[in-house]
Copies of this chain bind each other. A is one copy, B any other.
Amino acid sequence: MSVSLDPAIADRLRRTDDGLVPAIVQQHDTGEVLMLAWMDDEALHRTLTTGRATYWSRSRQEYWVKGETSGNPQHVHEVRLDCDGDTLLVRVDQVGVACHTGARTCFDEGLLSD
């Protein structure tokens, strides 16, 4: 296991001014979009090497291993980077619910109408 993110991957990332990349989190088998989170290089490194989805919390300004406090971890199946290097797709097996509200996904309650 390397100690930091593979430079070949780091070179492809296009980050925000805060050094972050949005990560779309998807249930690997059903295709449900669970949530959007943010990663810096270190969070991506930890996600790839530990197999546990790890994000950067913009509100708390700290790393956040999904499920560490909630008991609802995300086991990582694969991580993909998009064509222009500015978005990640993290395909996981979500134990329990993804949303802090107790809903399965963060989008369950949010249907918008015209």
Binding site for B on A (CB under 8 A): 1, 6, 9, 22, 24, 26, 30-33, 35-36, 48-49, 78-84, 86-87, 89, 99-101, 103, 106-107, 109-114
Contact = CB atoms under 8 A, between A and B. Distances in A.
A112 B110 CA distance: 31
A110 B83 CA distance: 7
Nearest to A111: B80
B36 A87 contact: yes
Copies of this chain present: 2
A82 B48 contact: no
A103 to B, nearest CB: 7
Given A24-B36, A48-B113, A83-B110, 18 more contacts: A22-B36, A24-B33, A26-B31, A26-B33, A31-B32, A35-B87, A36-B86, A48-B112, A78-B111, A78-B112, A80-B107, A80-B110, A80-B111, A81-B107, A82-B107, A83-B100, A83-B107, A89-B107
Given A22-B22, A31-B31, A87-B106, A112 B36 contact: no
Contact of A80 (B26, B30, B101, B112): B112
